[in-house]
Amino acid sequence: MSSSSFGFSSYARPIVVFGRDGQVGKEFQIYLGGLNASVVFLGRSDCDLSSELSITETLNKYQPQVIINAAAYTAVDKAETQPELAFAINAKAPTLMARYIANVPYGILVHYSTDYVFGDNKQSAYFETDTAGPVEKLSVYGQSKLAGEQGIEEVFNSAKNYWDSIHQEQLSRYFILRTSWVFGEGGNFIRTMLRLAAERDQLNVVADQVGVPTSAQWLAEVGMQMARSHAESGIYHAVPDGETSWHDLAVFAIETAATCGEGIEFKPENIHPITAVEYPLPAKRPYNSRLNNKKLKNALSRIAFTGKYPHWRDQVERYVREHVEQSLKS
């Protein structure tokens, strides 16, 4: 896609991407790196998102037109003992970004959030209109991400009242893309399963938690599609079609790797289903991580999204194939 069709090349102010070195951030580097748009990719050494001063200085320095926040405190278990840090990075930092961009005419904030904002108060897929929480049922990570969503929404709601009276067409917008079970260039469940399948004879994998595996590459693509769209501000559930359990995802990934030359001896029947209770972890994980993607699908169809809306199986298959090809080369 050319930079002109992208619609950002005419802006004097740059696109600033936080979280350059994360799974989603790396995909933004690939996706935006080749475009003729003005983009700044920032990592932890450029801006410490736990520091208000560092964030303010960075925003004043680059004066972005578009902020992509792909950064987060994602160490879910560690967050249980580091709540202040998790809240600083996951709640305070995106709120400060919102405060900045809400005052920029035509400004855009793309922020990523998570299924962990839901506390198993529903059996079926969550809609964006479902109430998040209850907070007491969420992990610290989930609480901090929810506080980040709320911080962004509060800032934009109050800015809207101000801008409404001036230039409504200049109103800045935000997109909170809630996603789940992300895999990309970094540590993730699929990579762990492929490694363990090469090392062990038997695996026990949780089978009573259900969600939607989501490609980091696709998340970056969707983030930019939304940023260049005229879609309404708000929360969108950004997951592919379908759903699965961790157990079935492990079976699918290992079977796929075996069919594309990984030389895996491991038999998928040796992946034993267990319950989450049998695999205790410091932070509570949702049993139900299903996110309904209808709102995003509608928005993408209105902006002529070039790709076919994906199913998680296609994304995982492609990812495993690429992963195997890379490891065979090295």
The footprint of ligand NAP on residues 216-275 (CB under 6 A) is 216
3-state secondary structure of 257: helix
| Residue in 15, 17, 24, 117 binding ligand NAP, rule: CB under 6 A | 24
How would you label 218-241 residue by residue, b for 16+ Cβ within 10 Å and e otherwise?
bbbbbbbbbbbbebebebbbbbbe
List the helix and strand counts (H, then E) for the chain.
11, 12
Q: Is 181 in the site for ligand NAP (CB under 6 A)?
A: yes
| Residue in 15, 89, 96, 97 binding ligand NAP, rule: CB under 6 A | 89
42 vs 264, beta carbon nearer ligand NAP: 42
| Residue in 15, 16, 22, 215 binding ligand NAP, rule: CB under 6 A | 22
Mark the segment that binds ligand NAP (CB under 6 A) among 20-28, 131-139, 160-168, 321-329. 20-28
Interface map 265-294 toward ligand NAP (x if CB under 6 A): ------------------------------
Give the separation between CA 122 and CA 277, rounded to whole angstroms. 19
Q: Is 141 a catalytic residue?
A: yes
> Nearest approach, Cβ of 88 to ligand NAP (angstroms)?
8
- Residue 125's contacts (CB-CB under 8 Å, 6 or more residues apart) are 243, 290, 291, 292
| Residue in 40, 48, 241, 242 binding ligand NAP, rule: CB under 6 A | 48
| Residue in 71, 102, 235, 257 binding ligand NAP, rule: CB under 6 A | 71
φ/ψ of 5, rounded to 5, equals -65, -20
Closest to 93 (Cα-Cα) out of 153, 53, 46, 142: 53
Q: Is 193 in the site for ligand NAP (CB under 6 A)?
A: no
The residue annotated as part of the active site, out of 73, 141, 236, 319, is 141
> Nearest approach, Cβ of 42 to ligand NAP (angstroms)?
8
Residues tagged active-site: 141
Q: Kindly list the residues in this chain that would bind ligand NAP in the complex (CB under 6 A).
A: 19, 21-25, 43-44, 48-50, 70-74, 89, 112, 114, 145, 179-182, 186, 216
